[in-house]
Structure 1
Amino acid sequence: MKRIVIASGNKGKIVDFQAVFKEYEIIPIKTLIPDFDPEETEDTFHGNATLKSEYAAARLNLPVISDDSGLSVKALDGAPGVYSARYSGIGATDKKNNEKLLKALEGIEDRSAYFTSVIALSIPGEETRTYEGRLYGEILESPEGDGGFGYDPLFKTDEGVSLGTISPDEKAQISHRRRALDELRKDEELFKILTNS
């Protein structure tokens, strides 16, 4: 089976990748670089995704993809954005982040929001390429379901699907990450290099 190395230690993201790339063996970075933990110092999804994939590709001398993603809420001027995973500060958890988001939106009618995923592909000796996908919807007033991870239980798509209530396979058909990965697949030659490594 062909394999894809993913520069991510986030278990939820790994599940998402596995649901999209069923025909490939997904290799989480920590199985190859146990101490993988580059500091995300950039202020854009593109910057942080590139930072992680380039770090891993250089360490392994292999093609690697990474993901940087997050939630942007219109009423909060795009927050939490690149800080989505650490929105509630030191010791942030999904529960604390969701609670902070709901509190920030108390009394606000416009709850429109979108998820962004940026996938970076780093191939040793080549310039890193990035691919972006978005999923538009709104923030619910309370969590629905216990599926997914992060803000999924609070997010309902424009098509009326609450991400916390669907399976990983169903999410893999519509998610922002799926849309970014579909853009990556369109670069057929680079994708072939990634999967033949």
Structure 2
Amino acid sequence: MLEKLIIASANKDKIKEIENILKCGTIKEILPIPSDIGKIIENGNTFIENSFIKAKAVYNYTKIPSLADDSGLCINALNGKPGIYSARYGGENLGYKEKMQMLLDELKDKDDRTAYFITSAVCVLDDNYYIAVEGRVNGKIIENPIGFKGFGYDPIFQPDGYDITYAEMNLEEKNSISHRALAMNKIKHILDNIYHI
């Protein structure tokens, strides 16, 4: 049994998704990120680097195993944008409604609307050991936002094999197929093996 695990995120929606996946496993207690840790500068060049920076910073501060993820939307016709800048695309103070509109405007004259959501997750267990995984879901960007569930870019992303967006799915449905779910289920499986559930 893993006694405690900190989810190194201040994003309530993201924490809810992760807890929903990890709660039926080998982890006894899931904790929020300490409120007094201060800002962690994510200056990596890849999703995995940013995840490691966050998880390691929280682990170093608390000495409690810590899990972080970095996720983003990558649009093929825009050379992978917004990518690692998904949360900051168009500026820190721009809301997701405006971010989505920016992307839709950039795609107006593009025939290729294929895209993928990716999550890289890192779980730092101690000073010498960490787990790194990735989850990816291919899909396309629709022409207008649809749906009010989920968060971020969910209303404009339709995963392959579905005729609805992430934002039209309830939490259980999204968690059965999403990029974050794929990554977190890999983490859960590895933790279950390490801690022998």
Q: Same fold (TM over 0.5)?
A: yes
Identity %: 35
Q: For residues 150 and 27 of structure 1, what CA distance do their matches in structure 2 show?
A: 23
Q: How does 1:153-172 map to 2 (within 5 A)?
A: 153-160=155-162, 161-172=164-175
Would you say the 8 A contact 1:5–1:28 is kept in 2?
Answer: yes
Given the alignment of the two structures, is residue 175 of structure 1 paired with residue 178 of structure 2, yes or no?
yes
Q: How many residues in Structure 1 have an aligned counterpart in Structure 2?
A: 192
Would you say the 8 A contact 2:9–2:15 is kept in 1?
Answer: yes
- By how many angstroms is 1:11 displaced? 1.5
What do residues 138-194 of structure 1 show as CA deviations (whole Å, max 9, x unaligned)? 00100111110010000001011410101111111111011111222332467539x
Q: Which residue of 1 aligns with 2:30?
A: 26
Q: Which residue of 2 aligns with 1:107?
A: 109
* Secondary structure of 2:181's aligned partner: helix
Would you say the 8 A contact 1:62–1:123 is kept in 2?
Answer: yes
Q: Which residue of 2 aligns with 1:6?
A: 7
Q: For residues 58 and 190 of structure 1, what CA distance do their matches in structure 2 show?
A: 24
Would you say the 8 A contact 1:12–1:148 is kept in 2?
Answer: yes
What do residues 21-40 of structure 1 show as CA deviations (whole Å, max 9, x unaligned)? 233653221xx243442011
Q: For residues 53 and 61 of structure 1, what CA distance do their matches in structure 2 show?
A: 11
Would you say the 8 A contact 1:5–1:65 is kept in 2?
Answer: yes
Would you say the 8 A contact 1:145–1:153 is kept in 2?
Answer: yes
Q: Which residue of 2 aligns with 1:48?
A: 50
The CA RMSD over aligned residues, in Å, is 2.1
* Secondary structure of 2:16's aligned partner: helix
Q: For residues 39 and 92 of structure 1, what CA distance do their matches in structure 2 show?
A: 19
Would you say the 8 A contact 1:146–1:165 is kept in 2?
Answer: yes
Would you say the 8 A contact 1:58–1:124 is kept in 2?
Answer: no
Q: For residues 86 and 194 of structure 2, what CA distance do their matches in structure 1 show?
A: 28
Which of 106, 123, 130 is matched with 1:128 structurally?
A: 130
Q: How does 1:49-128 map to 2 (within 5 A)?
A: 49-128=51-130
Amino acid at match of 1:184: I
- By how many angstroms is 1:7 displaced? 0.3
Where does structure 1 lack aligned partners over 5 or more consecutive residues?
A: none
- By how many angstroms is 1:99 displaced? 1.2
